[in-house]
Chains A and B, each alone.
Chain A
């Protein structure tokens, strides 16, 4: 019977406080939907069929953790402001004879209802949104993606566990507040302004440290393989830093503005600044949330767009020729490949393709340990060295270089040209143990037929152009001595460009593969393999289709979340401020003053998150660049343009959302 009473009281409390509960419930629903979508995406079986599926899964998994931290902070704060608003009501219940344990029971029931509502509608909304977005994005991309739509049981279970835990913590926090408070304090609670955090300067220092470390990690990361893991550590540090610094920083800023009397005692600033100081923590958390979401959206959309726009570039840098044949030989110029080339030529003919141009060249490629003053492949070299201290050296002759580029360069025996794909040499000498060459020039770019595979290699690599075949042979013998059975052979590469249909090229490719597989070659020789640009491009689009999808999906999701956050902030603050604005209008504040004051408030802090997101984006650049490099996008200028473009479009959206919500706010506070 009494149980029933508390259950009913809890329900009617929520209904009665609908105005403040409605936005909170919406927030819960969206956060839950959001987490569910993230989680189910990271568990999607389709990921396995994607290029780098493991990495993407790991990335999404880490992304889930980010969303989780976000959810905890966000729900905790929105709830504590809500409870603060209700303290008066609790005080009244208390004075009317409810004991604290009864109050706790009521709040417990309330939290339970919210949890049920939030989870129920959260899943409904999440699943529907998931489905709708799948449909829309596939329409826009205009191609199939191997990620199917599905309802993940595992994701539902983990979402339920996580959010029940969060709601339980929220309840404990409420109970703690009720337990420690005196009824009279509760009665006044709703009116008391937020106190400045006692240790504001510690917040500031911790925030600066955290943000600084995050930035430092992002800027100094060298190894693309480690980039993804480091990226997430940096993201979490930056999130923590943003919260702490926004809290400390915005309070300091507002207090400085208040201390400046001539600024503060102006109609436009007076109300806004005092209002923001009154709820300084809520203000800071709201702004940090918006800032973090904005950054996520920007990183996600700009990198995805860069990948999407860059994918044609990627294909042509990965596949410089329509068909490329690779094989190996033991000693420079010793093996005859005419039988293998005949298979290829035959396949082209059979499919009505005509050869436009072709090239044949030889390269030697092996890994060497990077030391302070050069490279080494000596056996006794530091075997403990990290794998990322190894870099790839790719040697070709000047003749092959000149034929590829159409240039007519000359070199001396002790001179080389160098082209590095990731990290420049920054030296006048190229040293490999006892070999020492003068670097005549560091080439900005050099695309040659053998460089495609190199370009997609995530390790740092250097193409070294040596004068003659003799030198190449010396290097070959030397590495053979050192590496023994692990030694590399010289690569023979044959690239052909053709005229003809894509369909024919695909058929020709199949024929070549079969032909080569069935070819008998002398002992100690390898048949070799062939690559086709058309076939490779298809694979590329399959792979990147999934990536675009995830990028756009999450980007849109975060955008929706950001809009809702801004909406939530404006609506709740509108209701909080309404009473005050009514009083002020009674003592003579005009509608014009109300509008001016709202705009001043917006201009003081509203663009802070956007500006900070921009700064985050600049610091994220080095690490995102590395991650994109893993995905084969090395055209960093394209990424920069995409980022600037996305930032511009996003800013417009941000301004529009603000304009819209400021109107809503005005509608609420005006009499």
Chain B
């Protein structure tokens, strides 16, 4: 069953001066199944971020629709949008977006507090998730006191704590060193194996090679996709790498 349906999505920006129109997305369609782990790849300016913002309901498309678990995003009222986002989506950002004013514990509990949960429930969930992500020892610290990898784990904990239908990750490894990247990607695999649907936007081949399916976007269109099938991460890496080379040399794919 598809948890996310993206149907012929268009996004046109009009430049501020003069009426030049830029098409950031044109006719993007794809489905994401429950429990899938999808990576969306593309070069800078390919429309990845625009797509992610639309999926996150932070931006509205010019045409087409996004249906999350049967609910069309365009029918959600402005006032309920925050609650909708909070209840259904989990976010992991490249620059973590942790709040300096909060301890890590409080950062993780933020979405639950916003959902007006009672403290005992908040405590239980924070404890559970922090043990699972191996950050339990750090909870009393503040974001500026821990490393980037640890920060990103906290951000993942914050995204997962609401048990969202879909986790949206925007270049989650972009600010991490290679060992932190590995451990974060393994973490993503682990939570995906437990049934969490993940949609990740990245231009790191390594990150994408951990996903179950990779979508390539070029000039605002879905250009190609690769399924993992029975391939190992290594083979997946090779395939993605070949595809990217192919795209950047300007060739056409037949299939």
Residues of A within 8 A of B (CB): 188, 191-193, 261-262, 265-267, 270-271, 274-275, 277-278, 580, 583-593
Q: Which residue in chain B gives the minimum CB-CB distance to A276? A: B101
1/0 contact string of B80-122 vs chain A (CB within 8 Å): 0111011101010000010111100010011111101111001
B interface residues, tally (CB under 8 Å): 33
- Shortest Cβ-Cβ A-B pairs, 5 listed: A588-B86, A590-B82, A278-B101, A191-B144, A274-B101
Q: Tell yes or no: B132 within 8 A of A by CB.
A: no
Tell me which of A584, A591, A593 contacts B99 (CB under 8 A): A584
Q: Is the CB of A587 within 8 A of B119?
A: no
CB distance from A274 to the nearest CB of B (A): 5
Q: Tell yes or no: B143 within 8 A of A by CB.
A: yes
Q: Is the CB of B110 within 8 A of A188?
A: no
Contacts of B123 in A (CB 8 A): 261
- Please report the C-alpha to C-alpha distance between residue A191 and residue B111 in the assembled complex, in whole angstroms: 21
Q: Is the CB of B100 within 8 A of A580?
A: yes
Q: Tell yes or no: B58 within 8 A of A by CB.
A: yes
Q: Is the CB of A590 within 8 A of B101?
A: no
Q: Is the CB of A593 within 8 A of B82?
A: yes
- Please report the C-alpha to C-alpha distance between residue A498 and residue B58 in the assembled complex, in whole angstroms: 85
- Please report the C-alpha to C-alpha distance between residue A591 and residue B101 in the assembled complex, in whole angstroms: 20
- Please report the C-alpha to C-alpha distance between residue A193 and residue B118 in the assembled complex, in whole angstroms: 27
Q: Which residue in chain B gives the minimum CB-CB distance to A588? A: B86
With A193-B100, A274-B101, A275-B101 known to touch, is A591 a contact of B82 (CB < 8 Å)?
Answer: yes
Q: Tell yes or no: B48 within 8 A of A by CB.
A: no
- Please report the C-alpha to C-alpha distance between residue A78 and residue B101 in the assembled complex, in whole angstroms: 20
Q: Is the CB of A590 within 8 A of B83?
A: yes
Q: Which residue in chain B gives the minimum CB-CB distance to A277? A: B101
Contacts of A262 in B (CB 8 A): 118-119
| A-B residue pairs in contact (CB < 8 Å), sample of 8 | A192-B144, A262-B118, A275-B101, A277-B101, A587-B158, A588-B85, A588-B87, A590-B114
Contacts of B83 in A (CB 8 A): 588, 590
With A191-B143, A583-B97, A586-B97 known to touch, is A593 a contact of B114 (CB < 8 Å)?
Answer: yes
- Please report the C-alpha to C-alpha distance between residue A267 and residue B117 in the assembled complex, in whole angstroms: 9
Q: Is the interface of A mostly helix, strand, loop or mixed?
A: helix
Contacts of A591 in B (CB 8 A): 79, 82
CB distance from B74 to the nearest CB of A (A): 18
Q: Is the CB of A587 within 8 A of B142?
A: no
Contacts of A592 in B (CB 8 A): 79
Q: Is the CB of A586 within 8 A of B91?
A: yes
Residues of B within 8 A of A (CB): 56, 58, 79, 81-83, 85-87, 89, 91, 97, 99-102, 106, 109-114, 116-119, 122-123, 142-144, 158
Q: Is the CB of A590 within 8 A of B79?
A: yes
Q: Which residue in chain A gives the minimum CB-CB distance to B100? A: A191
Contacts of A589 in B (CB 8 A): 82, 86, 114
Contacts of B142 in A (CB 8 A): 192-193
Contacts of A580 in B (CB 8 A): 99-101
- Please report the C-alpha to C-alpha distance between residue A588 and residue B102 in the assembled complex, in whole angstroms: 16
- Please report the C-alpha to C-alpha distance between residue A580 and residue B107 in the assembled complex, in whole angstroms: 11
Q: Which of B101, B106, B111, B122 has most chain A Cβ within 10 Å? A: B101
Contacts of B97 in A (CB 8 A): 583, 586-587
Contacts of A587 in B (CB 8 A): 85-86, 91, 97, 110-111, 114, 158
Contacts of B106 in A (CB 8 A): 270, 274
Q: Is the CB of A193 within 8 A of B101?
A: yes
With A586-B58, A587-B158, A590-B83 known to touch, is A270 a contact of B113 (CB < 8 Å)?
Answer: yes
Q: Is the CB of B116 within 8 A of A267?
A: yes
Known: A191-B100, A586-B58. 6 other contacts (CB 8 A): A193-B101, A193-B142, A274-B101, A278-B101, A590-B79, A591-B79
Q: Which residue in chain A gives the minimum CB-CB distance to B122? A: A265
Q: Is the CB of B100 within 8 A of A278?
A: yes
Q: Is the CB of B99 within 8 A of A267?
A: no
Q: Is the CB of A274 within 8 A of B102?
A: yes
Q: Which of B82, B85, B89, B106 has most chain A Cβ within 10 Å? A: B82
CB distance from B175 to the nearest CB of A (A): 14
